Amino acid sequence: MNVAIPTADKQMQAIVEKVRSGERLSREDGEFMYRSDDLLTIGMMANEVNLKKNGRKVYFIENMSLYFTNVCEAHCAFCNFRKDQGDEGAYTLSGPEMIAYVEQHIHPDVREFHIVGGHNPHVPFQYYVDSLKALNERFPEVALKAYTAAEIDFFSRISGLTYKEVLQELIAAGLQSLTGGGAEILSDEYRKKMRVDKADVSQYLEVHRTAHNLGLRTHTTMLYGSVEKKEDRINHMLQLRELQDETNGFQVFIPLSMQPISPKASIRRRNSAFEDLKAIAISRLMLDNFQHIKAYFINIGTQLTQVALTMGASDVHGTMVKERISHAAGALTPEGITREDLIWLIKGAGRIPVERDTFYNEVKVYE
């Protein structure tokens, strides 16, 4: 007896076979998975890929979020962190002021400063160089992962220097890695709709290309869940995959779930858990040349992060002392988490917690 198999099932089975044979997935494969509601099959494939790449290890870092300024010339529609100069709550910290803040909050196990902030046109580029220099001189044992590609483009505009020259000055001041922010969705149409008045798609990619060519290993993100189409998300991943083929400089891809402006916003204003897990699993499958996909607990919560560890994620970020940007936009999660809780979270998903440094070197394995 012949049993007719629905076309969608055939298409999903073809993707399963491609994944298991190590064949690269196409744009059409990615778009089909986004249209599918078969999250379990997509998650199963992502889990298989991740286990081949990373085994049962899940990485985290003891890190601290720092924000030198929230004054910003850009007015991106999704941002509730930025302020104008003179607004209530606007600030621009000097190096000594930031060092005083760090000394109040740091503990001996912090290995990385995660530094981002506003595009403040009221201070010169040298301010941003001196900010890193001050931290590097006071805390030389802590790695500086600082600034987004959009910030590097902004520094280039206010200084008249090329991307390469900007990065070389920052490296001399202590910069060791770039953060992944500023990518949002790599679509000029999206950026126009969401008033992303900062680095465009080609500029974002060129900054990372330049950084990789200078020997920096960087992070990259995707902010999903607003006006973009599912096709835009796949196109976003494909542009990053192409650059990674060229430079191999990205360490990790971080899907960021869009947060509503108010913490009191209804669940209808948030991405569903289904969408969040799908974003992680599909990115694991499409980005075959990335070692790690991050489940960012600040955006999706700790328990969904545990589930994500069985659907392609191999990194849960870090302890994040005092995260502000997602929380300014309405995140309901903790502003940070203890090492003990992170270890419990990872073990609770049946995985092996691994404390890492900025470059994914293993510091301690918690068997």
pLDDT of residue 266: 64
Average pLDDT score, the chain: 91
pLDDT of residue 79: 79
pLDDT of residue 327: 42
pLDDT of residue 144: 98
| Better-predicted residue by pLDDT, 198 or 247 | 247
Answer yes or no: is 76 a known binding residue.
yes
Closest CA to 62 of 300, 330, 340: 340
Question: Could you read off the pLDDT of 17-43 as tens digits, one per residue?
Answer: 999 999 999 999 999 999 999 999 999
pLDDT of residue 80: 78
Does 333 score more than 50 pLDDT? Answer: no
Q: 249, 175 in Cβ contact below 8 A?
A: no
Mean pLDDT value across residues 288-308:
94
Residue written as tokens 């941003």?
Answer: 128
6-15, 86-95, 213-222, 257-266: which range is least confident on average? 257-266
Reported pTM: 0.92
Largest pairwise CA distance in the chain: 79
Mean pLDDT value across residues 176-196:
94
Mean pLDDT value across residues 246-269:
83
Q: 179, 116 in Cβ contact below 8 A?
A: yes
The kind and range of the H/E element at 243 are: helix 230-247
CA distance linking residue 281 with residue 361, whole number of Å: 24
Give the model's confidence band at 4: pLDDT under 50 very low, under 70 low, under 90 confident, else very high. Answer: low
Does 129 score more than 50 pLDDT? Answer: yes
CA distance linking residue 43 with residue 52, whole number of Å: 14
pLDDT of residue 335: 54
Q: Is 232 exposed, middle or buried (0-12, 13-18, 19+ CB in 10 A)?
A: middle
3-state secondary structure of 236: helix
Does 155 score more than 60 pLDDT? Answer: yes
Answer yes or no: is 98 a known binding residue.
no
Give the model's confidence band at 241: pLDDT under 50 very low, under 70 low, under 90 confident, else very high. Answer: very high
Burial 309-324 (b: 16+ CB within 10 A, else e): bbbbbbbbbbbbbebb
pLDDT of residue 107: 86
Identify the CATH number of the domain defined by range 28-365: 3.20.20.70
Give the model's confidence band at 323: pLDDT under 50 very low, under 70 low, under 90 confident, else very high. Answer: very low
